[in-house]
Amino acid sequence: MKECYLGIDIGSISTKGVIIDENNNIITSSYIWTEGNPVNAVKKLINILKKDLSSEYIIKGIGTTGSARKLIGLMLKANIVKNEITAHAVGTLTFYKDARTILEIGGQDSKIILLKNGIITNYAMNTLCAAGTGSFLSSQAKRLGIEVKDFGKYALKSKNPVKIAARCTVFAESDLVHKAQIGYKKEDIIAGLCKSVVLNYLNNVGKGKKIEGPVIFQGGVSKNEGVVKYFKEILNQDIIVDPNSHLMGAIGIAVLARKNKNGNTYSLKVDDIKFDTKPSECNLCSNNCELLRIYRNGTLVDSWGSKCGRY
């Protein structure tokens, strides 16, 4: 029997899963849409992963990260639940030991992580605004009538990217509509959009951070060749995009699950797990906390949202 570890990164847009062996080699991986239902997405994901896993492997650890990490952690009884910043850094460091900067743009958030000698020295994450993240790009792709995955190819065709206001999604969008209506070519507009994502990122998240090489770019948006091109151009240095760049968070949390293993063996039979959440409002004081009670196979496992700790 060989040991293996499951890492799941449940993001706002997509859910990523990976199974690694003792030496951090990827045995199988998958990438599906979350579609607003993390519990179902994870069940689907695990069923896909299970197919490619030969019976000689046993799962000795499960880790969850991403915005639904707590919920899925409870569902799978994960042995480690960690935030995505740590997971991404650990994942990247597994493959790039001398990485100095990680640029990450996901569906709803973007972050920058600075590293030195294999440890995180500083990080930043976008705060109030989702401008320049994956969901912005995909909504604009819909507006222009092309697939998100072709976005990068279009951008590379352009010779004269248009200038698009980079500060704010709303302004960027009205700028884009205006440029389209006065007759700019589609590829020029798309290239301009990619450039504005880069500028927005560097002005917001990357503000005041010294970006030193090797620079690793990951997250869903790293699959967009146009954005990669403008990062290279504007930062004036080489940008590494790993073929598994979209899986780095999942790999990182799988590595952490391996490091924190406690001897338990986990099964991947998820279809039988009955996992329910019951929302309610506590009216005992004027805080009116929104409570969420989590039931696993009918028994209460946790409740969230209480400010006073009564529940």
Pick between residue 47 and residue 303 the one whose CB is nearest to another protein: 303
> Which of the ranges 53-61, 82-90, 155-163, 169-177 carries the binding residues for another protein, by CB under 8 A?
82-90
Is the Cβ–Cβ distance between 166 and 196 less than 8 Å?
yes
Q: Considering only residues 287, 300, 301, 310, which one is a binding residue for another protein as defined by CB under 8 A?
A: 287
Secondary structure, 3-state, 278-308: EEEECCCCCCCCEEEEEEECCEEEEEECCCC
For position 284 contacting another protein by CB under 8 A, the verdict is no
> Which of the ranges 56-64, 113-121, 131-139, 212-220 carries the binding residues for another protein, by CB under 8 A?
113-121
For position 67 contacting another protein by CB under 8 A, the verdict is yes
For position 125 contacting another protein by CB under 8 A, the verdict is yes
Backbone φ, ψ for residue 137 (5° rounding): -60, -40
For position 118 contacting another protein by CB under 8 A, the verdict is yes
CB 125 to another protein: min, Å: 6
For position 127 contacting another protein by CB under 8 A, the verdict is yes
> Which of the ranges 20-28, 81-89, 132-140, 228-236 carries the binding residues for another protein, by CB under 8 A?
81-89
For position 285 contacting another protein by CB under 8 A, the verdict is yes
Strands of the chain, DSSP E? 2-10, 14-21, 26-33, 57-65, 80-81, 101-105, 110-116, 119-125, 215-218, 239-240, 275-281, 290-296, 299-304
Q: How far is CA 178 from CA 73, 88, 144, 165, 241, in A?
A: 46, 38, 13, 11, 33
Two tokens, residue 2: 């060989």
For position 120 contacting another protein by CB under 8 A, the verdict is yes
Provide the binding-site residues for another protein, judged by CB under 8 A: 67, 82-86, 117-123, 125, 127, 208, 210, 285-289
